[in-house]
């Protein structure tokens, strides 16, 4: 079978290797679609602690080709998404049921070889059946959906509340979709007008454009926030950018006794006034991965297929991974989610070119 291995910085090598053997307790999944995220870009750029070489791909869906020692009710031919997170079950977070922050956490496609292969062996318990009628290219986005849902759940939203989502990339948009489903009014802010157009499609009742080198919110934007929050500020803020100034904005704008969830990741340092958190008695919460929310993410995508399709802005063939990553880095055009059509799906959904974009082994 054909695999794509990231062997060095910005270098993908295609290799022919034997297909994996079926192991007890595992299933062989014929990969149909893989979606790419910012973590994939960092791995490709060799700016991620996983280390190279590695086969990338942690957001994916496909069909079960074979299964061994099956106690999960999964059958050959079933369409599945895969939960890529691996945890030890022994450390303190795992014992508390917080395995999404396992001290020994692993991830298929990040810390171990992943789904940019034709056939992948995965533990049976990682398989998540895809709802009838949900296309596999959309089902591949169940993993980012689960991350957005985890962030929202951490914020303990209640129907009728108002939430501010800072950042309308894929995680921010999926959080907006889920919050709207829960009966929360959502205001979205971003630096890119195209993303704010999508935010309205995903349920935002208002959108705020963050202008570079300008105060945010401006006077008109502050008045709109006041009108939507009875001048008290949003009860919940989801910070989905990882930009230090965005966390500072969240602390400034959140209501007293409100909650902030930091899901955007960055190694940069934020500078915040130490008195703001106790004076408002803010709950400042982190969010990472999810607690088995991929099945719920699949159901969210199945309920909102039009929005899921709108988030999928680009498709590339398996042979065009180099071009896909270059587009992610350059952002010469608006990019939502990039979907990779693997060989199993390319005959039905032609994409890219037939030539392999990397170095053939």
Residue 169 in contact with residue 149, Cβ under 8 Å?
A: no
Q: Give the pLDDT confidence of 288-326 residue by residue, as tens digits.
A: 999 999 999 999 999 999 999 999 999 999 999 999 999
Q: What is the pLDDT of residue 351?
A: 42
More confident residue, 156 or 355: 156
What is the DSSP track for 102-162?
Answer: -TT-EEBTTTB--SSBSEEEEEGGGEEEPPTT--HHHHTTHHHHHHHHHHHHHT---TT-E
Res. 354 pLDDT band, cuts 50 70 90 = very low
User: In the chain, which segments carry CATH 3.90.180.10?
Assistant: 2-140+304-360
Compute the C-alpha angle 240/312/200, nearest 5°. 55
User: In the chain, which segments carry CATH 3.40.50.720?
Assistant: 145-286
Q: What is the pLDDT of residue 357?
A: 37
Distances in whole angstroms, Cα of residue 64 to Cα of each of 32, 274, 318: 11, 52, 20
What number is the average pLDDT over the span 89-106? Answer: 97
What number is the average pLDDT over the span 343-350? Answer: 69
CA dist 311 and 309 (Å) reads: 5
Res. 347 pLDDT band, cuts 50 70 90 = low
Side-chain half-sphere CA neighbours of 284 within 13 A: 13
Topology (CATH) of 145-286: Rossmann fold (3.40.50)
Written as six digits, the tokens of 190 are 């971003």
Domain 2-140+304-360 of CATH type 3.90.1150.10: no
Res. 49 pLDDT band, cuts 50 70 90 = confident
Helix (H) or strand (E) holding 233, with range, is: none
The answer, yes or no, to whether residue 71 has pLDDT greater than 80, is no
Q: Whole-number mean pLDDT of the chain?
A: 93
């Amino acid at each position: 079978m054909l695999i794509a291995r990231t062997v060095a910085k910005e270098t993908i090598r295609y290799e022919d290797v034997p297909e994996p053997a079926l192991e007890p307790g595992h299933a062989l999944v014929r990969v149909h679609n893989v979606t790419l995220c910012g973590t994939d870009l960092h791995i490709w750029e060799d700016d991620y602690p996983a280390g190279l070489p590695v086969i990338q791909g942690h957001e994916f869906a496909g069909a079960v080709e074979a299964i061994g020692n099956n106690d999960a009710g999964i059958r050959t031919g079933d369409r599945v998404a895969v939960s890529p997170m691996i945890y030890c079950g022994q450390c303190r977070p795992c014992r508390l049921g917080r395995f999404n922050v396992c001290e020994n956490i692993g991830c298929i496609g990040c810390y171990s070889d992943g789904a940019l292969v034709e056939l992948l062996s995965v533990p049976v318990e990682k398989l998540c059946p895809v709802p009838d009628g949900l296309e596999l290219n959309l089902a591949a986005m169940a993993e980012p959906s689960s991350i957005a849902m985890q962030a929202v759940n951490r914020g303990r939203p209640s129907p009728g509340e108002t939430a501010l989502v800072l950042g309308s990339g894929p995680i921010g948009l999926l959080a907006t979709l889920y919050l709207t489903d829960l009966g929360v009014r959502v205001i979205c802010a971003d630096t890119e007008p195209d993303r704010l157009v999508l935010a309205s499609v995903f349920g935002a009742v208002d959108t705020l454009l963050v202008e570079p080198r300008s105060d945010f919110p401006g006077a008109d934007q502050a008045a709109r926030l006041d009108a939507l929050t009875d001048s008290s500020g949003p009860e919940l803020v989801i910070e989905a950018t990882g930009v230090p100034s965005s966390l500072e904005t969240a602390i400034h704008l959140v209501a007293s006794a409100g909650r902030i969830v930091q899901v955007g990741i960055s190694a940069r340092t934020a500078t915040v006034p130490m008195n703001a958190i106790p004076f408002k008695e803010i709950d400042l919460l982190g969010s990472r991965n999810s607690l088995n929310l991929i099945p719920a993410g699949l159901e969210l995508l199945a309920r909102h297929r039009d929005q899921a399709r709108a988030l999928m802005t680009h498709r590339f063939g398996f042979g065009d991974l180099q071009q896909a990553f270059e587009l992610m880095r350059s952002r010469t055009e608006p990019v939502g989610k990039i979907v990779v059509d693997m060989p199993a799906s390319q005959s039905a959904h032609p994409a890219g070119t037939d030539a392999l974009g990397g170095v053939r082994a």
